[in-house]
Amino acid sequence: MTDMSRTTFMKTVAVAVALASLTINFGLIDLIDGFTGYVDQARNQVLDVGWGAMFGVIVPLGLLTQLRRPERRIAGIQQLAIVALALALAGVAGKAWWYLALALGIAVACAVLLALHPTRRTFFDAGPRLEPMMLALAAVAAVPCLVYAWRMISAQRDDLPPLDAVSNGLHHWTVMAALALVVLLLVVLSAIRSSGWRIPAISASIATGAWAISCLLAPTAAPGSEGHTWAYAALLWSVAALLVGAWPRTRDQSVAAAPRLQAT
């Protein structure tokens, strides 16, 4: 298989997996329902946005960024691997064993995409320097994310209501824990500046912002919410992460001018 046909096949797989995440895995509909409350009469807004942020934002963004210059964006594939890892950890911790099947499916998709990726050998490479602002944002988010993840895992282990916050047979408590872990790990990934480091930074920002807005739209004591004060704090954090991730830097342009193509 030539390099061009390999890359074309990779892009096809990326689109297929992204569409599956958005549709049959309810990423898009749960994201929308989290803000509108149309499907379940606003009973589970925050929990729905959690599922939607994971499978309607983070997974598709990591995949669809591979459609243009994937050789500069291995971070999108790393992002998918982080999702699989976080889902597996949250599933084991919360004794939600079917989440392991979901994590395995995402891991298989990640492995296929990595095998086809033009710069697959850079998967474990860090950038030449750390991104100090992203490192600071990771430090700020570490304790809140870990505490929130533990609270969501405890809710899953205790089978707390609502019982109908389910997508494809998987209760949303576990995905909320995984989301907190993913956001933290994505910011750390951005801080080490792997190729395409802005992808996880922006993905973490959008996902956190979506969760924060859903908390503000929902009652303070809504399942999955930490109250309006924490929601405002998370919203400010997400804006800061977005600004750091999206702000252009001249040194990035020089790095992008010489992408490392190491396909075999």
Q: How many domains does the chain have?
A: 1
Give the helix/strand (H/E) hosting 166: strand 166-167
Q: Give domain status of residue 138, yes or no.
A: yes
Q: Give domain status of residue 129, yes or no.
A: yes
Q: Give domain status of residue 262, yes or no.
A: no
Q: Give domain status of residue 255, yes or no.
A: no
Q: Around Cβ 243, how many Cβ atoms within 10 Å? A: 12
pLDDT in tens, 68-99: 999 999 999 999 999 999 999 999 999 999 99
Note the pLDDT of residue 43: 76
Q: Give domain status of residue 176, yes or no.
A: yes
**Taking a C-beta distance cutoff of 8 angstroms, is the pair 58, 207 a contact?**
yes
Range of the domain at 196: 3-250
The arithmetic mean of pLDDT across residues 47-53, rounded, is 97
Q: How confident is the model at residue 249 (pLDDT cuts 50, 70, 90)?
A: low
Q: Give domain status of residue 78, yes or no.
A: yes
Note the pLDDT of residue 261: 44
- In 3D space, the residue among 55, 90, 35 whose CA is nearest the CA of residue 215 turns out to be 35
Q: Give domain status of residue 258, yes or no.
A: no
Q: Give domain status of residue 264, yes or no.
A: no
Evaluate if residue 42 carries a pLDDT over 60.
Answer: yes
